[in-house]
Amino acid sequence: MVTLVGAGPGDPGLMTRKGLECLRSCEAVIYDRLASEELLKELRPECVRVYVGKQPGAHSVAQEEINRLLVEYGGRYRNVVRLKGGDPFVFGRGGEEIQALDAAGIPWEIVPGVTSAVAVPELAGIPVTHRSVARSFHVITGHGAFGERVAELEDYAALARLHGTLVFLMGLSALSDIADALLRNGKDAKTPAAVIAEGTTPGQRVVRGTLFDIAKRVAEEGLASPAVIVVGETAGLSLMPQESREGAAERQAGEAGKRTLGAVGTRQTVRAFREALRRCERGEHIPCEVTVPVEMEVCDAEDGARLSEEISHIRSYDWVLFTSKQAVECFFAAFRSAGEDVRTLAGCRFGVIGAGTGGALAAHGIRADLMPEHADAAAFAAQLSERFRAKRMRVLFPRARQGNGMLAEELARAGAEVCALSVYDVRGRRRQAFAQIGTQREFVFFSASGVRAFFAELAADGTRLSPGSVCYCMGTSAAQALQEETGNGEEIRVVLADEPTVRSLAERVYREERKGWIG
């Protein structure tokens, strides 16, 4: 049996009771990038997890491959869940997946989910219908297929004539095209419009404007997907609970004392950090905003093909080592692409640095054989070298292109045969918030590569951190990179998280922010 379960719009609390029951009892789950990490915690430890969203260092999984996986796992396990963001049938391609299951004779059922088309605007204070201004609403995909322009996929002349609310899903990258198409077909330029990013989650951001200027406003604010676009008179409403209005007023009143944290990391990491920080606040409304001056992007590196080759004879390796979550995901993406059986890993031992990396490995059903108490490469190398001196070990070490070569060198000195592969690259991209660097005093770094990318952008502008700046680091590698970049000559304070996890870093930032807020 395969059950297509709608995960809802983002907030794990909006998952249906029946959907949760399916998650808690399934033997395997096939999920995409919009599935909340909180929901995945509901799975049993032995549940097999298959990620089919955007992989770090890999390409998106094609729908045909997802269909094949559903048939394969549906035939192998008694109880499989296909976890999809929102509702499976609202631009979720659930119909195609069901057709594939039908063709293979695999039984299926549906558990509807709360669709973001209604819930996201609703929780941002925008009703999709209102008797006095909009008696209907219309949901349109903003995502083209096969290179087609969005403006060519719909009858925008008909859409422009509608008096109801227009809701566009998956259309952030095409926002300018959508607005232009509606304006060309006669929609009033003063029509209210709004874009809600990361709706229903602690990282929710809302930008309002008119059809004429909404694309410009969103670009200035640097909103990122997932996002919902609302066009129509209801987009001009703001129906918020009293406590939310009071909270907004309180934050506005404290705007002068608001602290801004410049976070340098991938989009997913910064989103998780915002959520963890909000959980720490527990409604205290600490005036702290998280911006992204430099966003890190994960892409392929030169040894991606070589990793697949090494995986084809993984039985010859004694150990596989990971120093990051991205390396774990790259390894298992290549493992699945090679069509290998998980039983071929039975002879390997796995070593990881940090609880976060260990958690990523555990999500694939494997517990680490070695994780040093102190999450740094030196401690890792020392413990592994001690084990390897007795006999020659073969070690597979997939890592970032920018990875520190010290670990591989130390293991080679201990007599190990190390195959270190650069399987992914991390690059920094300057964002709109970089213009605020001159006024910021607090920054958050999740990795050494983020530190180096940030200082490269500073150097390109001929600037440096202001004296008295505070830099929060998730791990010792980021802290060491800071020392290298500043040469200890700049008056900056480095604050290290208690543990190298996003949650621990958020808790440390919260404690420091609360001191300043109360003081």
303 is known as an active-site residue: no
54 is known as an active-site residue: yes
Residue ending a domain, choose from 113, 141, 173: 113
In this structure, the answer to whether residues 155 and 217 fall within a common structural domain is: yes
CB 352 within 8 A of CB 324: no
Residue 515 inside a domain? The answer is: no
Domain hosting 323: range is 300-426
Q: How far is C-alpha 14 from the geometric centre of its chain's CA atoms?
A: 19
In this structure, the answer to whether residues 101 and 186 fall within a common structural domain is: no
Distances (CA, A) of 55 to 50, 58, 122, 299, 329: 11, 5, 31, 9, 7
CA atoms within 13 Å, Cβ hemisphere of 131: 0
Task: State the pTM of this model.
Answer: 0.59
**What is residue 280's DSSP assignment?**
H
Q: What is the pLDDT of residue 255?
A: 44
Residue 32 inside a domain? The answer is: yes
CATH code of the domain containing 136: 3.30.950.10
Which residues share a beta bridge with 420? 397
Which of 11, 84, 87, 170 does the annotation list as catalytic? 170
Residue ending a domain, choose from 215, 236, 257: 236
- Please count the residues of the chain: 519
Residue 252 inside a domain? The answer is: no
Number of domains in the chain: 3
Residue 503 inside a domain? The answer is: no
Distances (CA, A) of 279 to 273, 400, 490, 503: 10, 31, 33, 9
In this structure, the answer to whether residues 305 and 374 fall within a common structural domain is: yes
CB 222 within 8 A of CB 198: no
Q: What is the pLDDT of residue 152?
A: 59
Which of 54, 190, 216, 258 does the annotation list as catalytic? 54
In this structure, the answer to whether residues 76 and 140 fall within a common structural domain is: no
Residue 468 inside a domain? The answer is: no
213 is known as an active-site residue: no
Which of 11, 32, 177, 425 does the annotation list as catalytic? 32
Residue with tokens 């705007």: 255
411 C-beta neighbours (distance < 10 Å), count? 24
Q: What is the pLDDT of residue 291?
A: 86
**Lookup: tokens for 427:** 């690059």
In this structure, the answer to whether residues 104 and 131 fall within a common structural domain is: no
pLDDT tens for the 519 residues of the chain, in order:
999 999 999 888 899 999 999 999 999 999 987 777 778 888 888 899 888 875 444 446 788 999 999 999 999 999 999 999 999 999 888 999 999 999 999 999 999 999 999 999 999 999 999 988 899 999 998 865 444 555 556 789 999 999 899 999 989 989 999 999 999 999 999 999 999 998 988 778 899 999 999 999 998 888 888 899 999 999 999 887 654 554 554 444 444 455 788 999 988 788 888 878 877 765 555 557 788 899 888 888 888 888 989 998 899 999 999 988 889 988 998 888 778 888 899 989 999 987 778 888 988 889 999 888 766 667 777 777 777 766 678 999 999 887 767 888 888 888 889 999 999 988 888 887 787 788 888 999 998 899 999 999 999 988 888 888 999 999 888 898 898 888 755 578 899 998 888 889 999 998 887 665 443
CATH code of the domain containing 21: 3.40.1010.10
Q: Measured between alpha carbons, how far is 281 from 312 in angstroms, rounded to an integer? A: 48
In this structure, the answer to whether residues 132 and 201 fall within a common structural domain is: yes
